Structure 1
Amino acid sequence: MTPGARVAAAIEILDDMSQGRAAEQALTRWARNSRFAGSKDRAAVRDHVFDVLRCRRTAAHFGQGQDGRALMIGLLHQQGADLSALFDGAGHAPPPLSDKERAFPGPPADLSTALNLPDWLVPLFEASLGADTTATAQALQTRAPVHLRVNVARTTVLQAAEKLALEGVDTERNSLSPTALTVTQGARRIKQTSVFKEGLVELQDGASQAVVDAIPAGRKVLDYCAGGGGKALALAAQTSRRVYAHDADPNRMTDLPERANRAGTSIAILNHDQVLKTAPYDVILCDAPCSGSGAWRRAPGGKWLLTPDRLTALTQIQDDILDATAPLLSSGGTLVYATCSVLASENEDRVAAFLDRHAGWASPFQRRFGVTSQGDGFFTAHLTRE
């Protein structure tokens, strides 16, 4: 596919999404109907679509519209692309720009458009992030870095980096965690490397690893909201621990046994009744469902789907999870709360609300992680009985 044809494909997918289809569904639908597209073509088209989602408001502003063509014009204008070369009508490229389309407006005057956030979220960002609001919103408009967690139970960080380099994946040390590497080249090759296939590395954000690093000692550990199991695997790599995993949706853990086997470790998967029977635990990690606002670089559609009502519902879920797990903790144990959110309403406010509801508890440790090249936006807090 030519660069222009890739733009045309992105326009088609964005128009499909305007009918209510999710990004991944629209991309899959296009790929199935476009067998001629190679892997590099599919990756380039995907990048276009997700770049629009990250910058949808400014793309619509500069493109002067909400349809796929306008959004791609606005995006590519922001990126400084040669629009005349991409929109020339040759082959499968989109038709040339009209005079109106070439008359780009000036920078957006309103803050929510400039920050590429829904109007209602801007005050929450400002209240939560203060002086870091603009930098965080801008960081969320960029593509996410790729980070790896080295399975230090089986190799060293240096050895893993050297082996990856031999297979075309270049990395550098990540400042947030001693087990983390940031991929600088060859990210799309990772899953084809022997290093990955042999369980020596896992894909995991740097801040996510730092959350695990901060978890205190404890032999018996429950990952109560395990999801795909990334943090459970990181905990299991610390061989002094016995790790249990649970999730309200067990289907999310389907691949966890295979991943644990590849990593050379074991994780006991528990249903709700088994969680109760296996209690108490020395450490319980509650990586609670949240807005995902700290990781919107990776899932940019989330910021346009989040509503005030949904955020309120999430905070209730977060409270319920903490209340449900607190009684399962052993004497002297630690309840670890974590989110990939930058919003205080999901972070510090939830910890304060828990302490208000539970006399005799304290939070001796809290930490925020900003949205940077080293990791996504995360929050974690430790809760203990005084």
Structure 2
Amino acid sequence: MTPAARVQTAIEVLDLVIEAARSNGAPADRLISEWFRARRWAGSGDRRAVRELAYRAIRACGEIPANGRAAMLRVAADDAQLAALFDGSRHAPAPIDPVEPVASGGVAPAWLMARFAASGVDSPEALLDRAPLDIRVNTLKAGRLDLPEGAVKVAPVNGWRYPPETKIEQSEAYLQGMIEVQDAGSQLTCEVVAARPGETVIDLCAGAGGKTLALAAAMQNEGALIACDADRARLSRLAPRAERAGASNIETVLLDANREMQALDRFVGNADAVLVDAPCSGTGTWRRNPEARWRLTDKQLDRYAAIQSRLLDVAATLVKSGGRLVFVTCSLLDAEGADQATAFLARHPGWRAELPVLPAGTVRGSGLRLSPSHDETDGFFVARFIRL
């Protein structure tokens, strides 16, 4: 493909991403992969170039663009070489009309920027940087760890960091279960749980089990680790991951949304620790999913906050006296962080907050906030509560 044809292809891909964002359809990475899967003629260099152009445009547009061309014109407005490729030649985008619409720039929609300001978020532009690829060393697997080249040690955790484009899942260390892909911030939130061998620990929103596997390693496969979720498809991915990682103390429990206690009744008052890695807006993960900021609405944020409150109340019934409840969201917004922690303590006087001690993070209310700008991690809020 010529450079101009790559630009036109990126515009067509962006049209699909924008349509999906409006209809809450598939994420950009999946759409782009599927687009190329149906076009095997595109070489690896073409695929890489188109992907980079598409994501460059996504990151450049604070509000959802009218279409892919308007999004790409946002980039071309500050890049004369790119603008020159709009020449109308074969397979190239049509020449730029000075009066045609150009997508707006910025970090996020105005309402969301106001929420960031109210939540004390500085340097929100860091959310649009490309995220590195972090891995966690799996202590359940013994033997010599032969890591792929390019790793830099991530000091606060038992992990290493690679450039974003690293194909780590093709490495022998990954295939043998000796490492797991996990952001350093996510690894730190798992440390707040302080899971120990022999305990009963519940991961209430386990999903595909990334944090569950970290907890299993901390417990050294001793004790009971209960991985729960209401999404059958996501939870089903945990078993093969656990087998590869050598995690043998995990029991999965499929939940019925809004009827979680039907499956959890036997654990009431028995858990040493419960992790609530709650569904949230994902504002802390925009480095990986930049088009997510086009999907979020004020009403959706309120719905996430309501779900988080309800799940915290469910989790509170499961913890024994002296036990720990850890609340985590991958969000930088107080509505899904400090405000939730304050509201939980107001609803549950038999609990106290215990500020996590981590080698990173900024105190926000009764918890800690991790952020790309301050900690070079994804954005997270984490709080720990102790049952009296």
Shift of 1:119: 1.4
What letter corresponds to residue 234 of structure 1 in structure 2?
A
- Show CA shifts across 1:309-346 (max 9, x none): 11111111000001011111122110000000000011
The corresponding residue for 2:228 is 246
- Mapping of residues 22-41 of structure 1, within 5 Å: 22=26, 23-24=28-29, 26-41=31-46
User: Alignment partner of 1:140: what SS?
Assistant: helix
* Gap regions ≥5 residues in structure 2: 256-261, 356-366
Aligned equivalents of 1:317, 1:295: Cα separation in 2: 19
Residues 219-238 of structure 1: pairs in structure 2 closer than 5 A: 219-238=199-218
Q: How far is 1:123 from its partner? A: 1.6
Which region of structure 1 is more displaced relative to structure 2, 188-197 or 26-35? Answer: 26-35
Deviation of 1:37 after TM superposition, in Å, equals 1.4
User: 1:383 and 2:382 equivalent?
Assistant: no
What is the DSSP-based 3-state SS (H/G/I as helix, E as strand, rest coil) of the residue aligned with 1:270?
A: strand
| Aligned equivalents of 2:37, 2:215: Cα separation in 1 | 38
Q: Classify the secondary structure of the residue corresponding to 1:143.
A: coil
Give me the whole-angstrom Cα distance separating, in 2, the residues matched to 1:75 and 1:147: 29
For the pair 1:281 / 2:267, whether they are aligned, the reply is no
Distance in 2 between residues matched to 1:212 and 1:333, nearest whole Å:
16
Offset of residue 124 of structure 1:
1.0
Counterpart in the other structure of 1:297: 287
2:203–2:212 CA contact under 8 A, matched in 1: yes
Name which of 251, 254, 277 aligns with 1:268: 251
Instruction: Evaluate the alpha carbon distance shift between residue 14 and residue 163 of structure 1 in structure 2; reply closer, same or farther with a 3 A threshold.
Output: closer
Residues 163-191 of structure 1 show CA distances to partners (whole Å, capped at 9, x for unaligned) of 312xxxx110124x321211037x44211
140-149 or 23-32: bigger deviation:
23-32
Using the TM superposition, give the Cα deviation of residue 304 of structure 1 relative to its aligned residue in structure 2, in angstroms.
1.3
Q: Is the 8 A contact 1:288 1:321 kept in 2?
A: yes
TM-score of the two chains, using structure 1 as the length reference: 0.85
Alpha-carbon contact 1:73-1:83 (below 8 Å) kept: no
> What CA distance in whole angstroms lies between the structure 2 residues aligned with 1:283 and 1:294?
25
Which residue pairs with 2:158 in the alignment?
A: 179
For structure 1, the 5+ residue unaligned runs are 61-65
Q: Distance in 2 between matches of 1:26 and 1:299?
A: 12
| TM, length-normalised to structure 2 | 0.84
Q: 1:50: Cα distance to partner?
A: 2.7
Q: How many equivalent residue pairs?
A: 359
Provide the residue aligned with 1:145 in structure 2: 132
Match of 2:93 in 1: 94
Give the letter aligned to residue 164 of structure 1. P
Cα deviation per residue 1:257-283 (whole Å; 9 max; x = unaligned)?
A: 111111111221113444322442111
State whether residues 229 and 256 of structure 1, in contact with CA within 8 Å, keep that contact through their aligned partners in structure 2: yes
Q: Deviations over 1:207-253 (max 9, x none)?
A: 00010122224411110000111000111112055321001212211
Cα distance in 1 between the residues matched to 2:226 and 2:44: 38
| Paired amino acid for 1:335 | L
Structure 1 equivalent of residue 194 of structure 2? 216
Identity across the alignment (%): 39
Q: Where does 1:115-126 land on structure 2 (aligned, <5 Å)?
A: 115-126=106-117
Q: Provide runs of 4+ in structure 1 moved above 4 Å.
A: 98-101
Deviation string 1:41-83 (CA, Å, 9 cap, x unpaired) is 33332332233222213896xxxxx3322311322444x4612
The residue type equivalent to 1:263 in the other structure is A
Quick one: distance in 2 between partners of 1:76 and 1:229? 41
